[in-house]
Chain A
Amino acid sequence: MWFILTINSVTLGGLLFLLSAGFSLIFGLMRIPNLTHGSFFMLGGYLGVTLIRFGLNFWIAAILTALIMAAIGVTVERLLLRPLGGNAMQQVLLTLGLSFIIADLSLMIWTGDPVRVPTPPGLEGTASLFALQFPLYRLAVVGIAVIIAVGLWLMIERTRLGAMIRAGVDDAPMARVVGIRVSALFSVVFALGAALAGFAGLMAGPYLSIYPGLDSEMLPLALIVVILGGTNSLLGALVGSFIIGFLFNFGQVLFPNLAYVILFLPMLVILMFRPQGLFGRLT
């Protein structure tokens, strides 16, 4: 049992990282918790499964989903958030309102029946080790999360775009002074965040299914991961994801009556003693 829990902690961590990486980037640069993030996750799942029903391969559908979500992300940032001119409170309220709209639109389009997402061909089986079985697909999700993490890290640390994003995160006014178009970065980061969330939604499909309410189930998880790890740190999101993965799995077995407390308690402690999160920097 402990062995399964350990593997599952890692796989849940991988999924949580896919979910929260974009949330962390947006929070870091734009300084707003994007409350539409859970909706992007759910919408990505619905869009992906719709594409699959049109006969597309799972992976092609996943990439297309990410692209469509990126387009939606740019649109939301340009048309809705931009006019609010950096007024954080209004922007947060807007993302909250948008999440309600997306929820009801999804209900109209995809009805309320849980949608079953097929496991991609070749990954349906289970991996056996000793007498234990573990679904192959979930292991693949960890692999994908690692690839995305490395890709994001390279982009942030090794590219010109990444350098600009880092500059914008550290000190937006100063970045503007040196000629970085921070507002364009906002669009890029918001699109990237939406794409990652949507992609994660489809990746989660084969084991969570897609259903109304998934949005509001996932948003708090992204929040606790990012608050725990640090709001403007990709490494923080990564470490936070795996910590929550382990806490969730072991907490529910060891302290079954405190399942939710176990998840939120570390967040509370971190906020009290290290408000910037484990890997966050004070800015």
Chain B
Amino acid sequence: MAAGVRSPAIAQGAPVRVGQLTIKSGPLAQGGLLIEQGLATFLKDSGSTIGGRKVEIVVADTGGSPAGARSKVQELVEREKVDLIIGPITATEMLAISDYIRRAQIPIINLGGAEDLTQRHANPWMIRNVCSSGQASHAMGDFARKELGHNRVATISDDFAFGHEQVAGFQRVFEDEGGKVVRKLWPPLITPDYTPYIAQIQNVDATFMGFTGSNPVKFMRAYAELGVKKTIPLVGGWTTGDDALLKSLGDEAVGLHSASIYAATLQTDSNKRFVAAMLKDYDNVPGEYAAWAYVTGLCLDAALRTTGGDVSDKKKLMEALRGIALRDTPCGTFHFDKYGNIVGDIFIKRIDRKDGKLSNTIVKTYPEVSQFWTYPEEAFLAQPVYSRDFPPAKNLEN
């Protein structure tokens, strides 16, 4: 029924219809709001065109649930006849619609981090223009070992796939370079108070955290108040030091190193323009969500320039998307690997207080980082996907 659905031939001059899967209500709605702002900023910049054609965004609210995403994507494709799709926000939603996307053969630009979306179960119709879960934390593993000189670390992360994969990536690189992960803590996603976990962090050089949502805010405050921050510094994944989160943080976050594909302080022309516009229109320093939306706009624009504005041939459109190589974007330079995952700059950022406000300083840039880090692709893919127990932690102590 769904297979082979094609958009009708669109008369020249008709707008390109982009379906957007987003979240407008519930605890995850903040991501949706930031994406909306980033996308609006792009459309304002480009005069609501991509690749010279007018664009129309058809928004569908999934509510953040996999079932919601599944029914909304079908609605976008079959009833709204969209030409391609951007979103959904979470990896669980993307996993739920991946098969449908394959059957409907419709290009999708996604930001879900789950490793296997571009590895063992790569979807030929998808590109992911943000990091896989482990991609940035690979870099953090290297940085914590080589630049910060840590030998022994504890890790703490939300007990779900995104948390597991981030810690796995960090641990793999950190241990391969001679460090030791001596304790791994997994608080449930909903943990009102992190004190019982923080009390177990001792006798290490640093703590790596992979929290997401509002959890980094809670964790860092407790970590500082219990006096642990003074002796055991924190490093983290992109969701812990995201620029959009800074306004919710205070002195407890100063000194945090985090690894991310986006930094609001990156001095590319497009990023300076983007940050200025976000500040002017929304009084928001953009973080990775808003940046994703803006960069997605740039990707669409580049792909349509390649196809000469044609979106009717989905195969050609997909090839064009995968062939994108951009230099001046808010995320720096990037292109895609053959699995559709981004290969680009990873920034190590440090939170400082400047003129009374928190901001991220880029302390190191890892150029052209792939999802496989420096590991050979085949060997990487022959191993199990990152999880709570893989790679195995050989150096745990009690």
Binding site for B on A (CB under 8 A): 1, 4-5, 8, 12, 103-104, 107, 111-116, 126, 133-135, 137, 207-209, 211-213, 216-218, 221, 248-250, 252-253, 256-257, 259-260
Whether the Cβ atoms of B248 and A209 lie closer than 8 Å is yes
Partner of B29, one of A112, A114, A134: A112
Q: Which residues of B contact A126 (CB under 8 A)?
A: 225-227
Identify which of B52-60, B193-201, B314-322 touches chain A: B193-201
- Cα A12 to Cα B222 in complex, Å, equals 13
Whether the Cβ atoms of A253 and B200 lie closer than 8 Å is yes
* B256 interface residue per 8 A CB criterion: no
Seed contacts A5-B195, A103-B25, A113-B248; 12 additional CB < 8 Å A-B pairs: A12-B193, A112-B27, A113-B244, A114-B248, A207-B221, A207-B225, A212-B30, A213-B214, A250-B196, A256-B185, A259-B188, A260-B188
Q: Which residues of A contact B250 (CB under 8 A)?
A: 116
- Cα A226 to Cα B27 in complex, Å, equals 26
User: Can you list 19 A-B pairs with a CB-CB distance of less than 8 A?
Assistant: A1-B200, A4-B226, A8-B199, A12-B195, A104-B25, A107-B29, A107-B30, A113-B245, A113-B248, A114-B218, A114-B248, A134-B226, A207-B221, A209-B214, A249-B195, A250-B196, A252-B187, A259-B191, A260-B188
Partner of A249, one of B31, B196, B213: B196
- Cα A95 to Cα B143 in complex, Å, equals 50
Interface residues of B in 152-204 (CB under 8 A from A): 185-188, 190-193, 195-197, 199-200, 202
Whether the Cβ atoms of B202 and A209 lie closer than 8 Å is no
With both beta carbons as reference points, the residue of chain B lying nearest to A220 in the complex is identified as B190
Whether the Cβ atoms of A133 and B221 lie closer than 8 Å is no
Provide the main secondary structure of the chain A interface. Answer: helix
How big is the B interface, by class? 35 or more
Binary CB contact string for chain B from 345 to 365 against chain A (1 if under 8 A, 0 otherwise): 000000000000000000000
- Cα A209 to Cα B221 in complex, Å, equals 9
Whether the Cβ atoms of B192 and A218 lie closer than 8 Å is yes
Whether the Cβ atoms of A207 and B33 lie closer than 8 Å is no
Whether the Cβ atoms of A252 and B197 lie closer than 8 Å is yes
**6 closest pairs, A vs B, by CB?**
A112-B30, A213-B27, A133-B227, A211-B214, A114-B214, A135-B225
- Cα A221 to Cα B192 in complex, Å, equals 10
Q: Which residues of A contact B197 (CB under 8 A)?
A: 252-253
- Cα A104 to Cα B29 in complex, Å, equals 10
Q: A116-B250, A218-B192, A249-B196 are in contact. Are A209 and B30 (CB under 8 A)?
A: no
Chain B: minimal CB distance from A135 (Å): 4
Q: Which residues of A contact B202 (CB under 8 A)?
A: 1
Interface residues of B in 334-391 (CB under 8 A from A): none
- Cα A260 to Cα B187 in complex, Å, equals 10
Interface residues of B in 222-256 (CB under 8 A from A): 222, 225-227, 244-245, 247-250
* B39 interface residue per 8 A CB criterion: no
